[in-house]
A and B are shown apart, each in its own frame.
Chain A
Amino acid sequence: MDFLDKIGIFLITLGLPFFLSGTVGLLRFPDIYTRLHALTKADNVGLGLIILGLAFQADSWLIVARLLLIWLLVLIASSASCHLVASRAMQNKIKPWSSP
């Protein structure tokens, strides 16, 4: 039991840098599209690791299933909204930034 707890903490700790780099990307990247890259990808991996870590600490399978459901929902939500924002930006003729 204690051992599983430690694995859980380890995985959660692993997830944090992804969230932080998502934020860093959101602030440092030059245009909407690149910021979307940072936001969607980094945060999903971060959340995935945290959910995996918490699943190791869960008492019952039902909780694990609920965690998985949450992760799936966030995955669907963020990939769909990422595409929506990007396609709307294209419609609004926002030019992607390109390296000089």
Chain B
Amino acid sequence: MSLVHILFALILLLAVAVGMIRIHFGPTAADRMMAAQLFGTCGVAILLLLAWGLNTPVLLDIALVFALLAALTTMTFVRRAW
């Protein structure tokens, strides 16, 4: 079963990579930031899938930290940078 999980994780990684095109076109800083937000949610999903695919439960905790940091990055961005 683990190969399926890794395959799914790769598909999600592709979704993030394609979303990064938005960073190139912008036009505002917030549009670029949204690509980072996309990476936040997809990143959590990728880590969770890898936790099962590679049989590494520690990745679950990393996903948790990712989820926490995703909120902080956007808040900092909105308050300080834009």
* A–B contact, 8 Å CB criterion (strictly below): yes
- Count of CB-CB pairs between chains A and B under 8 Å: 124
Q: Which of A26, A50, A63, A78 contacts B49 (CB 8 A)?
A: A50
Known pairs A81-B75, A88-B82; A69 contacts B64 (CB<8 A) = yes
A72–chain B nearest beta-carbon distance, Å:
9
Chain B's interface: helix, strand, loop or mixed, by majority?
A: helix
Interfacial residues, chain A to chain B (CB-CB below 8 A): 5, 9, 12-13, 15-16, 19-20, 22-23, 26-27, 32, 35-36, 39, 43-44, 46-47, 50-51, 54, 57, 63, 66-67, 69-70, 73-74, 76-78, 80-81, 84-85, 88-89, 92, 94
Interfacial residues, chain B to chain A (CB-CB below 8 A): 1, 4-5, 8, 11-12, 15-16, 18-19, 21-22, 28, 30-31, 33-35, 37-38, 40-42, 44-45, 48-49, 52, 57, 60, 63-64, 67-68, 70-71, 74-75, 78, 82
